[in-house]
């Protein structure tokens, strides 16, 4: 399996969580799964006991030879190897956005992500060849890995990967990886192949298109999103080609890491609790209020929000009128400056009600799940969404917009659902939750139903395994 992020080794969002947890479930089901990840400069080599496993591999870039080396760690707590591709392309701290490198005594944006990840894909294939691991299946995730179906057909690769099938999982159609045709030379792709020809008709190469049309099977991360992406509204311009793949397109709901996300065992939270000791949860709220500098009051509902701050997530729906709700809000994340600024402004104006935590903070995230009564996910679209499931495991009641995986995981028995993408609709839904919070008995019953829901990977991993088996006829 190839991915640009693998939690906890390198994470930005849900993609990393999936690539870090689905493999464990597949391993449990008997798959010999191994992962490939770029060796980012931010990876803690001591903590993950990273070791070199293979010397230099050679990858041609624009026809010129370039070296990389292969290192290895294990997915923490497992025997699942994670191969790390080391090259100057990844020596930076960031996972995305290219990296600045020193040139003529100045930092310049030398590498863009399309080139970096093209390199990653080529190098990953060289790495498994060098290690001698011939996969039956290569499982790809999002555009960063989407050229692989094409790359394994190249003259250097086609013999080794003769019997290898590919499966491409779409985590988010909003990021497609679109670039100019010069990437073909960069990545040694055959401009004459039918797939490249179709893709480049408009003068662009779209990595997402390569994955969708090139892979033997295509999946996405919830049944509802699988349907939505075949429509113009959510298809992001690719609805036609997705429809073409309709027979090989599967919507498989993500799971969450139920060992990590367990309020009874979570080492990052103040007070552990379970279904049986739910009364103890309130200690986490009081702790969180204190930590954030909000008034400490066990009766006032705490509303949590954790996300990448991007257009998709509906942050623009939240405004000053929400101060009219009798609750406190905490927002955690980073992303587009305008969203960071608008939330900071709210926190400044209403310091006793809003807290804007503009950072990536894994501990605070857990403290928010544990300390929140209500958790909001007002997304424009949401391929799956993991935070609503985690929130429910922690007894925080979700308020979600009915879209994608949110529609598949939250209904009125466990949360509050709104349809229209408007501030008003979100406001009304939160108000319902805030009012509902007063009815202790009903609220408790709702929390309990959410906590009892099964969000483990087991059944979804079986679905992936079924596709693997179908593709390899065994
Ligand atoms: C992306 C999507 C999110 C999904 C995650 C994992 O981050 O935006 O909805 O849960 O990928 O598949």
**pLDDT (mean) for 277-283:** 98
Distance 14 CA to ligand 1 centre (A): 5
Distance (Å) from CA 439 to ligand 1 centroid: 33
| Sole residue written with tokens 């079924």 | 466
The answer to whether the CB of 14 is under 6 A from ligand 1 is yes
For the Cβ of 221 lying below 6 angstroms from any atom of ligand 1, the answer is yes
Are 317 and 329 in contact by the 8 Å Cβ rule? The answer is no
Is the pLDDT assigned to residue 103 strictly greater than 80? no
Is residue 171 in contact with ligand 1, taking CB distance under 6 Å? yes
Give the Cα separation of 297 and 440 in Å (integer): 16
- Give DSSP secondary structure letters for 300-366: SPEEEEE--BSGGG-GGG--GGGGGSSSEEEEE--B-HHHHHHHHHHHHHSTTTEEEE-S--HHHHH
Choosing from 221, 261, 460 the residue with most ligand 1 atoms within 8 A of its CB, the one to mutate for a pocket test is 221
Q: Please report, for the chain, how many H helices and E strands are present, in that order.
A: 16, 18
Q: How far is CA 55 from CA 32, 82, 151, 429, in A?
A: 23, 16, 22, 57
Chain-centroid distance of CA 136 in Å reads 25
Work out which ligand 1 atom sits closest to the CA atom of 13: 7
Q: CA 227, 228, 231, 236 torsion: positive or negative?
A: negative
The residue assigned the tokens 């947890």 is 21
| Cβ–Cβ < 8 Å for 417, 426 | no
Whether the CB of 384 sits within 6 Å of ligand 1: yes
Instruction: Indicate which residue's Cα is closest to atom 12 of ligand 1.
Output: 171
How many residues are recorded in the chain?
A: 474
In contact, 275 and 340? CB cutoff 8 Å? no
Comparing 109-118, 218-227, 280-289, 380-389, which segment has the lowest mean pLDDT? Answer: 109-118
pLDDT of 186-199, one tens digit each?
A: 998 988 899 998 89
CA distance 396 to 304: 9
CA of 210 to the centre of ligand 1 (A): 20
Separation of CA 18 and ligand 1 centre (Å) = 8
CB 121 within 8 A of CB 183: no
CB 18 within 8 A of CB 454: no
CA 363 to centroid of ligand 1, rounded, Å: 20
Ligand 1 proximity of 15 Cβ (cutoff 6 Å): yes
- pLDDT of amino acid 55: 80
Tell me the mean pLDDT in the region 214-227.
Answer: 98
Residue 109 has pLDDT above 60, yes or no: no
Rounded Cα gap, residues 171 and 253, in angstroms: 11
What is the Å distance from ligand 1's center to 172 Cα?
6
Model confidence over 298-332: pLDDT tens digits?
Answer: 999 999 999 999 999 999 999 999 999 999 999 99
Whether residue 469 has pLDDT greater than 80: yes
CA distance 171 to 259: 22
**CB-based contact 35:19 (threshold 8 Å):** yes
Query: Tokens 């990448």 label which residue?
Result: 308
List beta partners, residue 398.
Answer: 375
390 Cβ below 6 A of ligand 1: no
Q: What is the pLDDT of residue 140?
A: 98
Distance CA 444, CA 279 (A): 10
User: Does any ligand 1 atom lie closer than 6 A to the CB of residue 255?
Assistant: no
Helix, strand, coil shares, percent, the chain, to 5: 40, 20, 40
**Per-residue model confidence as pLDDT tens digits over 119-155:** 999 999 999 999 999 999 999 999 999 999 999 999 9
For residue 169, the ligand 1 atom closest to its alpha carbon is: 12
Tokens 């045709």 belong to 181
Average pLDDT, the chain: 95
Please state, in angstroms and rounded to a whole number, the distance separating the CA atoms of residues 452 and 257: 15
Q: Which of 7, 11, 15 to mutate to test the pocket of ligand 1 (most atoms within 8 A of CB)?
A: 15
Indicate which residue's Cα is closest to atom 10 of ligand 1: 385
Measured from the CA of 404, which atom of ligand 1 is nearest? 9
CA 292 to ligand 1 center in whole angstroms:
28
Q: What is the mean pLDDT of residues 172-189?
A: 91
403-406, Cβ contacts within 8 angstroms, sequence gap of 24 or more: 403/224, 403/228, 403/379, 404/222, 404/224, 404/225, 404/228, 404/234, 404/379, 405/221, 405/222, 405/224, 405/225, 405/253, 405/254, 406/377, 406/379, 406/382
Question: What's the CA-to-centroid distance between 377 and ligand 1, angstroms?
Answer: 12
Flag whether pLDDT at 105 surpasses 80.
no
Q: What is the pLDDT, as a whole number, of residue 107?
A: 59
Q: From the alpha carbon of 383, which atom of ligand 1 is closest? A: 9
Helices (H), 202-325: 207-214, 223-228, 239-244, 282-292
CB 95 within 8 Å of CB 41: no
Judge if the beta carbon of residue 224 lies within 6 A of ligand 1: no
CA 402, 405, 408, 411 dihedral sign is: negative
């Amino acid at each position: 399996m190839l991915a640009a992020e693998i939690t906890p080794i390198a994470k930005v969002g849900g993609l990393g969580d999936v690539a870090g947890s689905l493999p464990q479930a597949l391993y449990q089901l008997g798959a010999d799964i191994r992962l490939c990840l770029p060796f980012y400069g931010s990876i803690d080599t001591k903590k993950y006991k990273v070791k070199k496993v293979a010397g230099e591999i050679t990858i041609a870039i624009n026809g010129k030879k370039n070296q990389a080396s292969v290192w290895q760690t294990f997915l923490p707590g497992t025997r699942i190897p994670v191969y790390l591709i080391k090259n100057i392309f990844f020596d930076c701290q960031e996972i995305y956005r290219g990296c600045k490198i020193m040139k003529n005594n100045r930092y310049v944006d030398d590498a863009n992500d399309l080139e970096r990840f093209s390199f990653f894909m080529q190098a990953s294939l060289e790495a498994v060849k060098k290690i001698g691991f011939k996969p039956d299946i290569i499982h790809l995730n999002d555009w960063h890995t989407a050229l692989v179906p094409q790359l394994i057909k190249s003259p250097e690769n086609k013999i080794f990967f003769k019997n290898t099938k590919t499966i491409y999982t779409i985590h988010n159609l909003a990021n497609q990886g679109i670039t100019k045709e010069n990437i073909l030379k960069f990545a040694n792709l055959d401009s004459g192949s039918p797939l490249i020809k179709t893709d480049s008709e408009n003068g662009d190469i779209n990595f997402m298109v390569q994955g969708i049309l090139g892979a033997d099977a295509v999946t996405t991360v919830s049944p509802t999103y699988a349907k939505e992406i075949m429509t113009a509204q959510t298809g992001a311009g690719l609805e036609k080609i997705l429809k073409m793949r309709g027979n090989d397109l599967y919507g498989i709901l993500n799971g969450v890491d139920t060992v990590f996300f367990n309020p009874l065992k979570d080492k990052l939270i103040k007070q552990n609790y379970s279904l049986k000791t739910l009364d103890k949860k309130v200690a986490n709220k009081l702790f969180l209020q204190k930590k954030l500098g909000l008034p400490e009051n066990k009766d006032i509902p705490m509303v949590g929000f954790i996300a990448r701050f991007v257009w998709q997530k509906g942050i623009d729906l939240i405004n000053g009128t929400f101060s009219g709700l009798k609750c406190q809000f905490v927002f955690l994340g980073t992303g587009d400056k305008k969203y960071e600024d608008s939330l900071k402004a709210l926190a400044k104006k209403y310091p006793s009600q809003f807290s804007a935590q503009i950072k990536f903070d894994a501990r605070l995230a857990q403290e928010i799940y544990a300390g929140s009564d209500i958790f909001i996910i007002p997304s424009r679209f949401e391929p799956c969404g993991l935070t609503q499931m985690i929130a429910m495991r922690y007894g925080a009641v979700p308020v979600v917009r009915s879209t994608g995986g949110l529609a598949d995981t939250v209904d009125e028995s466990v949360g509050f659902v709104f349809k229209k993408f408007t501030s008003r609709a979100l406001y009304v839904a939160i108000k319902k939750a805030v009012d509902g919070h007063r009815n202790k008995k009903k609220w408790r019953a709702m929390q309990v139903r959410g906590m009892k829901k099964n969000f483990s990977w087991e059944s979804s991993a079986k679905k992936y395994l079924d596709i693997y088996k179908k593709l390899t006829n065994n």
